Structure 1
Amino acid sequence: MTNTAAPVPRRRTAWLLASHVFALLVGFGAGIYTLPILTAPPGPSTEQVAQAAAGGRYSGEFRRDLKDSDPLHWGEGTVSLSLQQIVFTGRLAPGPDYKLYLSPEFVETEADFKRLKPTMLRVGDVKTFENFIVPLPAGADPAGYTSVIVWCETFGQFITAAKYRDPG
């Protein structure tokens, strides 16, 4: 018995390979975006956040219109700082590996963040995308800084920032 099947043209094979690689990349990207949403713990309630923010010494606003914020990397809401914690009421764009920093200068670009990172204090992890309460490390004094920054450590991506006091 002879094989009568026609050989598959190379062009078709290349097209199939390219389409499968594209689908794989889209799926991987969608997974990176949705996994943090699916695995995020519930944020503190509105009452818990309001109570924690009531003891705040400083406050600022996360805004969507910062230079390096974009449709996938943003934050909006109010941030309040006390000597014990940083409290956020609002929403952040979902993403992996968010870190909270205190900065001596307000920044709104990745380049400025990278330039000033050695002078910043890494406060802790942000694990929720709606409201959070992050304790300050022992001995940290927010009076020594002016701004709060949310940064995606894994991808080196600026998310948002809020100025809570003027320098000086």
Structure 2
Amino acid sequence: MIRLALVFVVGLLTGLAVGAVTVLFYYPFWFPPAEVNETVTLLPGKVMVAEGAFIHPDPDDDVHWGKGGLTVYQQGDALEYFLNADFEVGPGPDFHVYVVNEQNITDKNQFDPDRAIELGRLKSFTGSQVYVLTNGVNAGPSHSLVVWCKTFKQLITSANVSL
């Protein structure tokens, strides 16, 4: 009787764990965030200072990818990163946007989120989005914008920026 109860408890815990991991993985596919279409407000003194393009870091990886353009605007000390309307990434959980003072980020081992500046959670898997690097935070003249999955510690995509 004790053996049957132990088998039941182990089976239940295993089922719960497998179910939780499955839901965590498939949730973004089942319920993707709505496409956003943010715009840049062109104020006096705001100028375009750079453009870039998101890359598919590992063409053999069909899950972690990104594409589309990036435009960077500056007003005073603030930088505004505009992910263009053609921006798109493969869906997944817990995507965040970072600025890192390195370029050509093509592998997850090249990126350390502890040495990067987090701009916020990715708002959508598609569409134009705006992220602001506030005054007083320094991004080097050559840096990258990186989309990173915090949950699985995976590089999704990156774009070089040269001011």
Q: TM-score, normalization: structure 1? A: 0.67
Distance 1:109 1:52 in 2: 34
| CA shift for structure 1 position 67 | 3.5
Question: 72, 90, 112: which is aligned to 2:110?
Answer: 112
Q: Percent identity among equivalent residues?
A: 22
The correspondence of residues 92-107 of structure 1 with structure 2, limited to 5 A, is 92-106=89-103, 107=105
What displacement does 1:70 show? 1.7
Q: Is the 8 A contact 2:36 2:123 kept in 1?
A: no
Task: Tell me the residue number matched to 2:70.
Answer: 79
- State the distance in 2 between where 1:52 and 1:33 align: 36
- Coordinate RMSD, CA, aligned: 3.4
The answer to whether the 8 Å contact 1:62/1:75 transfers is yes
What amino acid sits opposite 2:162 in the alignment? R
* Deviation sequence 1:85-130 (CA, Å, 0-9, x none): 211121011111111111111211111113xx44322222112111
SS at match of 1:148: strand
Q: Select the structure that is richer in helix.
A: 1
| 2: CA distance, partners of 1:113 / 1:133 | 22
The alignment of Structure 1 onto Structure 2 pairs a total of residues equal to 144
Q: How big is each residue's C-alpha offset from its partner over 1:72-97, in whole Å with a ceiling of 9 and x where there is no partner? A: 11110011222342111210111111
For 1:63-78, list aligned pairs within 5 A: 63-64=55-56, 66-67=57-58, 70-78=61-69
Question: When the two structures are superposed, what TM-score results if normalisation uses the length of structure 2?
Answer: 0.69
Gap change, CA 1:94 and 1:52, over 3 Å in 2: farther
Once the two structures are superposed, residues 30-68 of structure 1 have per-residue CA deviations (whole angstroms, 9 ceiling, x without a partner) of 53234235152x3332xx44x45995321111122x238
**2:58–2:65 CA contact under 8 A, matched in 1:** no
Distance 1:69 1:80 in 2: 27
Does 2:53 align with 1:61? yes
Contact 1:151–1:158 at 8 Å: present in 2 too?
Answer: yes
Tell me, yes or no, if the aligned pair for 1:126 and 1:134 is still in contact at 8 Å: no
User: Which is further off, 71-80 or 157-166?
Assistant: 157-166
Unpaired runs of 5+ residues, structure 2, are 1-10
Q: 1:125 matched to which residue of 2?
A: 121
Flag the 1:69–1:100 CA change in 2: closer, same or farther, 3 A.
Answer: farther
Q: 2:35 matched to 1:43?
A: yes
Structure 1 alignment gaps of length 5 or more: 1-16
